Amino acid sequence: MAIRLSTRLLNVCIASLCKASRLDKAEAVLVDGIRMGSLPDVVTYNTLIFAYCRYVGIDEAYSILYRMREAGIKADVVTYNSLIAGATKYCLPSRSLDLFEEMLQTGVSPDELTYNTLMHCMFTSGYPDDAYKVFQEMIEKNVRPSIITYNTLINGLCKSGNAINALKLFRNLQRLGFSAELVTYNTLINGLCKSRRLGAARKILRELGDSGYVPDAITYTTVMKCCFRSGKFTQGLEVFSGMMSRGYTSDVFSYCTVISALVKLGRMGEAYTCAQQMLSNGSGLDIACYNTLIYMYSTEGKLDKALQLLKEIEESSLESDVYTHSIIVNGFCKMGCIDVAHQQLHAMEVKGCGSNLVACNSLIDGLCKVGDVDSAIKLFNSMDLKDSFTYASLLHGLCKVGKFHMASKIMITCLREGINVLSSAQRAVLAGLRRMRFGKDAKKLRTSIWKARYHMPP
DNA sequence: TTAGGGTTAG
């Protein structure tokens, strides 16, 4: 005999299946439930929309929204909040704004979560001014912000290069009636570290110590990374051992940070030991962990091991990303295997990772190093997007084969485009011109470098 | 709904 589930029980079943990311099964339960006379409600559909945004994609989540409407159920604030968060996750700021407009038009009032999510979306999409407008609208509409609102603002300000205002806001929290949380401290310490305000970061770290909060794995990783970034490797490794001795031994972010630093230092033995620890103690190994391991093997020239890991990724539920392929392309370039690197770059494009700037830069460098500067120039000319690494690699390659005038011309173009030319590349071109007794051209180039440095017209 | 990690030059 078929049993008709109550709506509440139907929702419990669907929620537990969604939580386990078994969406096909959740859908089947919904279809069977309806067939047997159960009545899904707004909670049923919201649960599915949330899960589709999280595990599948925004378009699939929209299809649930349409089915919900067909069933005569009106979307509520929870529905829109999930969809806006989904659009944020997939970097679709205009979709977020459209959803926000739609909810206003259909008479659904945004709540604190709506504004926080929309603000976060605007910051992560590179529109800090719009994010601030969202915050102002939130205040105007009398929606009370929470500490999460302020954490989002502090984070967004830091990430958009405005750490000083983030610090000011942090100092104003008490006046606004809020106390900083561990998230607030971690966010600000990270922002200050990344904007190289190490003195201020140290001060906030001390304040965190006095606050009663206990630094967590995120605090340690943030500080450790900051040490590595500023070349303080011993200090960074001390932070790591301090973290381990306090029992934070399963955090994969910290392992990735330290393995990568050890590889860069050439301390491969320690890197392998740490990798082993990550594999045995780390919980929730993700694509970044695999990329770190691939980086470790590639740097040592163990490309067979790297490719074996790539195969493991492809056979698992994980998906390789631009980092994975760029690391492998770079590994082959370093070994002088340019043809294989080319094949990898092609495979990357076929897979939909797109042509990647880092991989192309590696290939330019690799081509120059094996003496094929002409192919490097060809690749350089075919690239729409270039950065200081692109220019540095090509300029060094051109200098190596004595093409100083071409290097000089390219460097002037680069400076005019506002891209920073690394000082090593500048020195190589200038020294080459002088050595070949092209003193006048060297002087001209020097003037262009000065004008670019002091933002003068060319 | 907010915080940390993974790739390229010399």
Domain locations along chain A? 146-242, 387-458
CA pair distance A30, A15, nearest whole angstrom: 11
CA pair distance A62, A44, nearest whole angstrom: 15
Q: How far is the CA of A254 from the C1' of B4 (A)?
A: 8
Q: How far is the CA of A317 from the C1' of B5 (A)?
A: 20
Burial of A409 from C-beta contacts in 10 A (0-12 / 13-18 / 19+)? middle
pLDDT tens-digit readout, A340-354: 999 988 888 887 766
Q: How far is the CA of A251 from the C1' of B5 (A)?
A: 10
Q: How far is the CA of A419 from the C1' of B9 (A)?
A: 14
pLDDT tens-digit readout, A52-78: 998 888 999 999 999 999 999 999 999
Residue with nearest Cα to nucleotide B6 C1': A288
CATH T-level assignment (fold) for domain A146-242 = 1.25.40
pLDDT tens-digit readout, A199-226: 999 999 999 999 999 999 999 999 999 9
Grade residue A456 by pLDDT with cuts at 50, 70 and 90. low
Is 60 exceeded by the pLDDT of residue A451?
yes
Q: Which nucleotide is nearest to A154 (CA to C1')?
A: B2
Q: What is the average pLDDT across A22-43?
A: 89
Q: Which nucleotide is nearest to A284 (CA to C1')?
A: B5
Q: What is the average pLDDT across A358-369?
A: 95
Residue with nearest Cα to nucleotide B3 C1': A187
Q: Which nucleotide is nearest to A243 (CA to C1')?
A: B4
Give the pLDDT confidence score for residue A221 in this predicted structure. 97
Q: How far is the CA of A85 from the C1' of B2 (A)?
A: 13
Is 70 exceeded by the pLDDT of residue A165?
yes
What's the whole-number average pLDDT of chain A?
Answer: 92
Is 90 exceeded by the pLDDT of residue A358?
yes
Q: How far is the CA of A218 from the C1' of B3 (A)?
A: 7
Q: What is the average pLDDT across A258-285?
A: 96
Q: How far is the CA of A94 from the C1' of B5 (A)?
A: 29
CA dihedral A442, A447, A451, A453 (to 10 degrees): 50
pLDDT tens-digit readout, A267-280: 999 999 999 999 99
Give the pLDDT confidence score for residue A45 in this predicted structure. 94
Q: How far is the CA of A241 from the C1' of B2 (A)?
A: 28
Residue with nearest Cα to nucleotide B10 C1': A424
Listed as ranges, the nucleotides of chain B within 7 A of a protein C-beta are 1-10
- What is the identity of the amino acid at A215? P
Give the pLDDT confidence score for residue A345 in this predicted structure. 87
pLDDT tens-digit readout, A404-436: 999 999 998 888 888 888 888 889 999 988 888
CB A112 within 8 A of CB A84: no
Q: Which nucleotide is nearest to A150 (CA to C1')?
A: B2
Give the pLDDT confidence score for residue A455 in this predicted structure. 66
Q: Which nucleotide is nearest to A194 (CA to C1')?
A: B4
Residue with nearest Cα to nucleotide B4 C1': A218
Q: Which nucleotide is nearest to A219 (CA to C1')?
A: B4
Q: What is the average pLDDT across A275-287?
A: 95
CA pair distance A51, A87, nearest whole angstrom: 13
CA dihedral A279, A285, A286, A291 (to 10 degrees): -10
Q: Which nucleotide is nearest to A221 (CA to C1')?
A: B4
Q: What is the average pLDDT across A221-246?
A: 95
Q: Which nucleotide is nearest to A184 (CA to C1')?
A: B3
Grade residue A448 by pLDDT with cuts at 50, 70 and 90. confident
Q: Which nucleotide is nearest to A116 (CA to C1')?
A: B1
Q: How far is the CA of A21 from the C1' of B9 (A)?
A: 43
pLDDT tens-digit readout, A143-156: 999 999 999 999 99
CA pair distance A436, A310, nearest whole angstrom: 47
Is 90 exceeded by the pLDDT of residue A392?
yes
Q: How far is the CA of A242 from the C1' of B4 (A)?
A: 16
CA pair distance A30, A51, nearest whole angstrom: 14
Give the pLDDT confidence score for residue A348 in this predicted structure. 80
Percent of chain A with pLDDT over 90: 76
Q: How far is the CA of A73 from the C1' of B1 (A)?
A: 24
Give the pLDDT confidence score for residue A444 in this predicted structure. 84
Q: How far is the CA of A148 from the C1' of B1 (A)?
A: 8
CA pair distance A138, A67, nearest whole angstrom: 31
Q: Which nucleotide is nearest to A361 (CA to C1')?
A: B8
User: Checking phi first, is residue A4 left (phi over 0); if not, alpha (psi -120 to 50) or beta?
Assistant: beta
Is 70 exceeded by the pLDDT of residue A403?
yes
Grade residue A3 by pLDDT with cuts at 50, 70 and 90. low
Give the pLDDT confidence score for residue A1 in this predicted structure. 52
pLDDT tens-digit readout, A78-129: 999 999 999 999 889 999 999 999 999 999 999 999 999 999 999 999 999 9
Give the pLDDT confidence score for residue A416 in this predicted structure. 83
CB A306 within 8 A of CB A294: yes
Q: How far is the CA of A347 from the C1' of B1 (A)?
A: 37
Is 80 exceeded by the pLDDT of residue A454?
no
* Length, in residues, of chain A: 458
Residue with nearest Cα to nucleotide B2 C1': A152
